[in-house]
């Protein structure tokens, strides 16, 4: 079983032909409201690919929160560990998509109510998992609590360090794999400069490199798993698809190279459609690629 602890955001997406300059007004092309949040995206990606997934997160008791609950129900993801909170609004992300690339601002809202004590309410779910998947859109204390439960119970962990903020270096000991993109990898290299942490970090990082694919360190040096060429519509959620798919593949016992190859295909398919979750593929679609 794969347990994802993380964020849910309603994505408010404006499609434009270019980014406005500071102080400039331009006309947009389209506006859409679609489900997102790195945590929920990774859970949906893993579930569509056949993973046995549990998701732990928090929504507001508001219009977006109620809409998101219906979306998760339709996806077949249990709501048992997704509690509505009354004191904060559902998290949102304002996203601008221009020329297939995105810029994102997240307002965490109810995601911030996932505290240590709230995570501990789901101790049994985490403790009985095979894999725990984390990102950095919920408070660091939530991730730390989940990591401790995982460590105590021998649960393997994938941390997607996005959006990057410095976390305690001791976390590297508690994770199995870390999936930064190139920007996050640079930030991590600046944040963790002592040689021992650097070494551990490099050993555990699988760096997502967009259209190029992903790279990781193997016995013979850096190994690159190339991405298949696809027609890109929207890159939002590609990294989340990779992380969710990686969890499924590793849970099934694939080697790290096989798992990366599977996950790169899933991420490549995800960018061919609009929205973070809109293009996340099914198992058949990945296997048919
Ligand atoms: O990784 C993409 C996601 O980042 C979006 O769905 C948005 O909600 C932000 O969390």
- Domain presence at residue 168: yes
Predicted local distance difference test score (pLDDT) of residue 100: 78
- Domain presence at residue 106: no
Enter the pTM of the model.
0.96
Can you give the CATH number for the domain in which 172 is found?
3.40.1190.20
Predicted local distance difference test score (pLDDT) of residue 200: 94
Residue 181 per-residue DSSP state = B
Predicted local distance difference test score (pLDDT) of residue 101: 83
- Domain presence at residue 88: no
- Domain presence at residue 173: yes
- Which residues are known to be catalytic? 240
Q: How many CA atoms lie within 13 A of 282 on its CB side?
A: 3
- Domain presence at residue 258: yes
Name every protein residue with a CB atom under 6 angstroms from any ligand 1 atom: 7, 9, 11, 36-38, 41, 93, 104, 106, 137, 236-237, 239-240, 276
The number of folded domains in the chain is 1
- Domain presence at residue 71: no
Measured CA distances, 101 to 120, 161, 225, 235, 289 (Å): 37, 20, 22, 6, 23
Predicted local distance difference test score (pLDDT) of residue 221: 87
Residues 6+ apart with CB under 8 A from 103: 19, 95, 96
Distance CA 237, CA 97 (A): 12
- Residue-level pLDDT, tens digit, the chain, 289 residues: 999 999 999 999 999 999 999 999 999 999 999 999 999 999 999 999 999 999 999 999 999 999 999 999 999 999 999 989 989 999 999 999 998 788 999 999 999 999 999 999 999 999 999 999 999 999 999 999 999 999 999 999 999 999 999 999 999 999 999 999 999 999 999 999 999 999 999 999 999 999 999 999 987 788 999 999 999 999 999 999 999 999 999 999 999 999 999 999 999 999 999 999 999 999 999 999 8
Helices (H) and strands (E) in the chain, counts: 11, 13
Q: Which of 10, 35, 93 to mutate to test the pocket of ligand 1 (most atoms within 8 A of CB)?
A: 93
- Domain presence at residue 78: no
- Contact present, 272 and 233 (Cβ < 8 Å): yes
Residue 131 per-residue DSSP state = E
- Domain presence at residue 281: yes
Domain ranges, residue 279: 2-6+38-58+112-287
């Amino acid at each position: 079983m794969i347990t994802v602890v993380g964020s849910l955001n309603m994505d408010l997406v404006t499609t434009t032909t270019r980014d406005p300059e500071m102080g400039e007004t331009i006309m947009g092309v389209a506006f859409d409201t679609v489900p997102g949040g790195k945590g929920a995206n990774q859970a949906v990606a893993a579930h569509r690919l056949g993973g046995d997934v549990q998701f732990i997160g928090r929504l507001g008791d508001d219009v977006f929160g109620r809409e998101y609950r219906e979306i998760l129900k339709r996806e077949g993801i249990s709501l048992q560990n997704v509690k509505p909170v009354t004191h904060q609004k559902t998290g949102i992300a304002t996203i601008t998509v221009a020329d297939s690339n995105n810029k994102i601002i997240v307002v965490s809202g109810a995601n911030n109510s996932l505290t240590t004590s709230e995570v501990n309410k789901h101790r049994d779910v985490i403790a009985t998992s095979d894999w725990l998947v984390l990102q950095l859109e919920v408070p660091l204390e939530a991730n730390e609590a989940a990591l401790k439960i995982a460590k105590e119970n021998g649960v393997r962990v994938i941390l997607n360090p996005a959006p990057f903020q410095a976390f305690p270096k001791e976390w590297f000991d508690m994770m199995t794999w870390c999936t930064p993109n190139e920007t996050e990898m640079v930030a991590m290299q600046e944040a963790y400069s002592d040689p021992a942490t650097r070494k551990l970090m490099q050993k555990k990082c699988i760096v997502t490199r967009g259209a190029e694919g992903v790279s990781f360190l193997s016995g013979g040096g850096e190994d690159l798993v190339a991405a298949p060429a696809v027609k890109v519509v929207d890159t939002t959620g590609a990294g989340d698809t990779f992380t969710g798919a990686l969890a499924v593949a590793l849970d099934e016992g694939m080697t790290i190279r096989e798992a990366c190859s599977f996950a790169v295909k899933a991420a490549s398919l995800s960018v061919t459609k609009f929205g973070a979750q809109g293009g996340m593929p099914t198992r058949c679609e990945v296997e048919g690629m």
